């Protein structure tokens, strides 16, 4: 009933973690892998991220019943075309990209005769590359599938079972809605973090040394996010433009209102917002999506 031969294309944080998670959780499932970068292939083989690292994408998918694309969203179409000629007829193709409308369209165009079920495990760290992977990355995290309406239901069921086998919780969602939700919960937070870290390093009157020394006042949390993979994130913003600009517009309105409140000394407005936002943190902790300990349980406590 479930997938038995999984090909992973792209062996960075996500691809590597998938290989390790499959080995740890899915008995009887074998993995092949490929990465366009020869150094990453070599390192992935040393680390044993998959059962067998192949020299070409075509070799990696040749015997697969599930292919998972783990490359930046802007590289999905090329990666798919690279192995299109060798893909077995019945293989299901999926991915782990952070934007889903553009990826769904790109993969459908590159592989018109195959079953494609776009997916997005909402999990990751600020690190990247083959050394960053670990088997529990998806545990207790949500994985969103965005199949087209005409996608075969048995393939959707099998992919659901696959992700649940890795410890994830699965949700089915419309691709357009996914892109809006993730713009809020992931893309805009990254954009803002990148921006403020850039702003801080460009100020003339505050040295970089000062920014670093006094980062424990809040700034250091933003630098973690702003250390994420630059190519992955460039592609996210280029491929989820409309939703990102829409949410950014709302954020800018809200920030302008607070800016006015500060200028006018309107403490009541500030206090009202600052009180309201605590409830969301509590819910996130109750739902098991973050660590309840102060400062995320950083080691200095």
Q: What is the DSSP string of 152-185?
A: -HHHHHHHHHHHHHTT-EEEE--HHHHHHHHIII
Beta strands in the chain (DSSP E): 5-9, 30-34, 52-53, 66-69, 92-95, 115-116, 119-121, 142-145, 169-172
**Options 21-29, 36-44, 127-135, 156-164: segment touching its own copies (CB under 8 A):** 127-135
**Options 49-57, 63-71, 139-147, 153-161: segment touching its own copies (CB under 8 A):** 139-147
Report, in Å, the least distance between residue 86 CB and its own copies.
30
Indicate whether 48 belongs to the interface with its own copies (CB under 8 A): no
**Nearer to its own copies among residue 59 and residue 174 (C-beta):** 174
| CA-to-CA dists, residue 71 to 93, 169, 268, angstroms | 13, 22, 47
Indicate whether 170 belongs to the interface with its own copies (CB under 8 A): no
Out of 25, 30, 127, 161, point to the residue binding its own copies (CB under 8 A): 127
**Options 22-30, 58-66, 103-111, 246-254: segment touching its own copies (CB under 8 A):** 246-254
Indicate whether 24 belongs to the interface with its own copies (CB under 8 A): no
Name residues contacting its own copies, limited to 65-124 (CB under 8 A).
74, 98, 122-124
Q: Are strands 30-34 and 52-53 parallel, antiparallel or unpaired?
A: parallel
Name residues contacting its own copies, limited to 190-219 (CB under 8 A).
190-203, 205-206, 208, 210-219
- Nearest-angstrom CA–CA distance, 279 and 167: 27
Q: Give the total residue count for the chain.
A: 301
User: Which one-letter DSSP state was computed for residue 206?
Assistant: S
């Amino acid at each position: 009933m479930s997938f038995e031969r999984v090909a992973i294309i792209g062996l960075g944080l996500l691809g590597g973690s998938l290989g390790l998670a499959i080995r740890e959780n899915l008995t009887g499932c074998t993995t092949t892998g490929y990465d366009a970068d020869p150094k990453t292939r070599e390192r992935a083989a040393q680390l044993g991220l998959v059962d067998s690292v192949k020299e070409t994408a075509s070799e990696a998918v040749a015997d697969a019943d599930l292919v998972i694309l783990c490359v930046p969203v802007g590289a999905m179409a090329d990666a798919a075309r690279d192995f299109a000629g060798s893909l077995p007829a019945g293989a299901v193709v999926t991915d782990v990209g952070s934007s889903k409308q553009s990826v769904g369209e790109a993969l459908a165009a590159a592989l018109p005769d195959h079953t494609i079920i776009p997916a997005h495990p909402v999990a990751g760290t600020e690190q990247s590359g083959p050394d960053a992977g670990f088997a529990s990355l998806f545990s207790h995290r949500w994985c969103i599938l965005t199949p087209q309406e005409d996608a075969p239901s048995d393939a959707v069921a099998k992919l659901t079972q696959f992700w649940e086998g890795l410890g994830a919780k699965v949700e089915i969602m419309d691709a357009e809605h996914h892109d809006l939700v993730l713009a809020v919960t992931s893309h805009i937070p990254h954009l803002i973090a990148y921006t403020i870290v850039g702003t801080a390093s460009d100020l003339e009157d505050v040295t970089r040394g000062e920014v670093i020394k006094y980062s424990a006042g809040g700034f250091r949390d933003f630098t973690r996010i702003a250390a994420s993979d630059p190519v992955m994130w460039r592609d996210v913003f280029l491929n989820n433009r409309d939703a990102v600009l829409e949410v950014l517009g709302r954020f800018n309105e809200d920030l302008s209102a607070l800016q006015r409140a500060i200028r006018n000394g309107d403490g009541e407005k500030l206090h009202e917002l600052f009180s309201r936002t605590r409830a969301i943190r509590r819910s996130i902790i109750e739902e098991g999506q973050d660590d309840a300990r102060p400062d995320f349980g950083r080691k200095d406590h």
